[in-house]
Amino acid sequence: MERSWGLPSGPMSLTNADAAHTPEPLDPGAVLRRRFAAAVRAAFPEANLPEPSVTIAQNAKFGDYQCSNAMAYAKALGTGLNPRQVAQAIVERLDLGDLAEPVTAANIAGPGFINVTIRPAALGAKVDAMDVPSLGIEVDADAPVTVVDLCGVNLAKQMHIGHLRSTVIGDTLARVLERTLGAAKVKRQNHVGDWGLPIAMVTAKLMSLEKAGKIDLGAITLDDLDRVYKQAKAECEADVDGLAFALAWGMGPKVEAELEAFNAEPLERSAEARRTLVALQNGDGDVRRVWKRLYDVTMSACLQTCARLNANITEAHSAGESSYEERLAPLVAKLKASGVAVVDDGALVVRLEDAGIAEPCIVQKRDGGFLYATTDLAAISHRVSALGASRIIYCVDARQSLHFRQVFAAARKAGLVPASAVLEHAAFGTILGEDNRPFKSRSGESVRLGDVIDEAVEAARGQLAARSRDLPEAELETIARGVALAAIRYTDLSSERTKDYVFSLQRMVAFEGDTGPYLLYALARVNSILRNAAEQRLASAPTCTIEHAAEKSLALALLRYPACVQDVARTLEPHRLCAYLYELAVAFGGFFEACPVLRAETAERRASRLRLCTMTKRVLTDGLGLLGIPAIERM
């Protein structure tokens, strides 16, 4: 699989004493992993055992963390030691310092699980250490430049529901990578479908409409263009297959004549579109002017929709297929000259059998035209050479999986990318309607993204109005937009990326349970405490002291944040961050109920809890930010 940017878990190096010199991680799990690794090395210095894994205990009665490797080690060692004896040997050499309660034979359970309970005192210090600008998320200074291909709008079309996932998932992955690789290392690329016959077809139609005085290009909207596109497409549709069939099977002059008459108009339109395409490619001034207007109107509207989704996608991130147009012929010539591409049935293809792909990648049609794949190859080349990319992540529908396998393999075969470059398709599933077919409106048209956002805002406004007390109208509107945005993005991000899901506005804008609004609500409740504390001039403590079980759960949840973000960066799976933030919000919910802050029993306890609240606010705000969900003060 391509998706394996992270460190592979190989055998431990016996000489590597890294643990002693690098700073101790905030994440207790990571610290434990190091300590366990050291203990394993000490216990079995001769054996080349895999790294131990220390995971969060599934059941609180076993403690906070557990190591389950003793069973596997016993087998790998082959020394006749049973798993409990192996666990015993590890435990005897385990030094957990003051992080956890001492681990003894009593902590070895079942076949050989080693259970660890974190000390509350150590947790407080860890949370304190997390109170730095990075929140403990380390930036990989050696990271390669990474391109995230996202959004992918097309000229003369409103953004529709099919663009939601590419935009939201792509934007989120970019945000996470910006955090873990450094903002300068991440380059977003909106691959705009602004070229080819369909675009020429609209352009031709626009020109004729303008000539007839039926439209004013200066005042035209994307909705107008959308209509013109559909009209032009319908006018160009010809029963070409039917005619070919009739000719091939000699169905007689009458049938042929009928079909030709039926096809005359569409054929003329298609010819016109092809002429327009040639004129466009040759830089014809008037065609170019109309095309540019088409481009500007579309992009202006689409980028506005992106902004409504809080996706950081601008004109600067957008590269039209047109920008690669002049590179296509040289590229294909090079592929042909080097023998990478060969002629097959009149078309030029790159054979990929040696890469395990039966279907070849077609780079030039029999009629000399270039294809989707050709443009993608040119884009890869550009991204590597001009943008300096060593890694390109394509946030595109899973149905294009074969296409990308072909393009990636062809790019490697042609040497367009260094062998070390990583090309990965961060595929996502389709948004389906209630009928389990790709989501369409009742009339069979694609559902406009702008409409979905409008409906979500309206639903959120209704819910807020029904529940909220005394919010001024203006603030209610702002909050409704924020809640709707949280609902939309969280819904799209919270299930596994590669899976399809059935669209349901009602479920999307639900306020209860595992939803975006619930996370905002948790934040609103923290903010409420902090606001009241500020009004009463109550200060938080410089360090927090963990005493109550709910405080401990909250602290443990907070400390998992940096590892979670790194995990998302490694796997490119945003739903892990969603699940984490939900668990954090749940932990805060328990804390909120069980641990009064402003009315705490002592001033010290109150100050300490205020600090926990501050940290919860920081992590929630930061995590929501990575999901592209702006924080709100109240709701």
Partner RNA sequence: GUCCCGGUAGCUCAGUUGGAUAGAGCAGCCGCCUUCUAAGCGGCAGGUCGUGCGUUCGAAUCGCACCCGGGACGCCA
Contact residue for RNA among 12, 371, 549, 631 (CB under 7 A): 371
**Count, residues in the chain:** 635
The residue within the footprint of RNA, chosen from 93, 579, 621, 622 (CB under 7 A), is 579
Per DSSP, the three-state class of 630 is: coil
Give me the residue label for tokens 């000229």.
155
For 364, the enclosing helix (H) or strand (E) is: strand 361-364
Contact 123, 369 (CB under 8 A): no
Nearer Cβ to RNA (340/598)? 598
CB atoms within 10 A of CB 610: 22
Joined tokens for residue 246? 């009739």
> Which of 145/381 has CB closer to RNA?
381
Q: CB-based contacts of 17: which residues, under 8 Å, 6+ apart?
A: none
Span from 330-338, 359-367, 418-426, 448-456 in contact with RNA (CB under 7 A): 359-367
Among 18, 46, 367, 473, binds RNA (CB under 7 A): 367
Instruction: Give 295 or 592: the residue with its C-beta nearer to RNA.
Output: 592
CB 85 to RNA: min, Å: 14
Nearer Cβ to RNA, position 112 or 450? 112
Rounded to the nearest whole angstrom, what is the least distance from the CB of residue 133 to RNA in the complex?
26
Instruction: Select 127 or 582, whichever has its Cβ closest to RNA.
Output: 582
Nearest residue to 53 (alpha-carbon basis) of 77, 41, 37, 76: 37
Sequence letter at residue 485: L
Residue 617 interacts with RNA (CB under 7 A): yes or no: no
Q: What span, in angstroms and rounded, lies between the C-alpha atoms of 115 and 500?
A: 38
Please say which residue, 290 or 635, places its beta carbon nearer to RNA.
635
DSSP string, 493-506: HHS-TTS-EE--HH
| Interface size with RNA, residues (CB under 7 A) | 99
Nearer to RNA, 360 or 628 (CB): 360
* Segment near RNA (CB under 7 A); pick from 188-196, 298-306, 379-387, 408-416: 188-196
Q: Is 104 in the site for RNA (CB under 7 A)?
A: no
Tell me, residue by residue from 224 to 263, as one string, x for binding to RNA by CB under 7 A and - for no binding: ----------------------------------------
Q: Which residue stretch of 162-170, 202-210, 368-376, 377-385 sits at the interface with RNA (rule: CB under 7 A)? A: 368-376
Touching RNA, residues 260-319 (CB under 7 A): none
Q: Give, as ranges, the residues between 508 and 547 that touch RNA (CB under 7 A).
A: 510-515, 517-518, 521, 524-525, 527-529, 532
Name the 3-class secondary structure at 56: strand
Region near RNA per CB under 7 A, out of 125-133, 261-269, 362-370, 616-624: 362-370
**Least distance in Å: CB of 451 to RNA?**
21
Closest among 429, 449, 448 to 502, alpha carbons compared: 429
For residues 397-426, which are near RNA according to CB under 7 A?
398-403
Among residue numbers 49 through 78, which ones bind RNA (CB under 7 A)?
53, 55-59, 61-62, 66, 68-69, 71-72, 75
Q: Which helix (H) or strand (E) holds 190?
A: strand 186-192
The burial of 355, by beta-carbon neighbours within 10 Å (0-12 exposed, 13-18 middle, 19 or more buried), is given as: middle
Residues 6+ apart with CB under 8 A from 360: 344, 349, 350, 351, 352, 406
Residue 98: CB partners within 8 Å, gap ≥ 6?
Answer: 119, 121, 122
Instruction: Give the DSSP letter of residue 512.
Output: S
Going across the sheet that includes 422-425, the strands are 318-320, 186-192, 145-150, 389-394, 422-425
Of the candidate residues 170, 360, 562, 628, the single one contacting RNA (CB under 7 A):
360
Residues 141-160 that bind RNA (CB under 7 A): 154
Q: Is 467 in the site for RNA (CB under 7 A)?
A: yes
Sole binder of RNA in the list 315, 326, 454, 496 (CB under 7 A): 496
State residue 306 phi and psi, 5-degree precision: -60, -40
- 373 with 410: CB under 8 angstroms? yes
Residue 430-449 contact track with RNA, rule CB under 7 A, x = bound: x-----xx------------
User: In the block, which residue shows the tokens 């010819």?
Assistant: 271
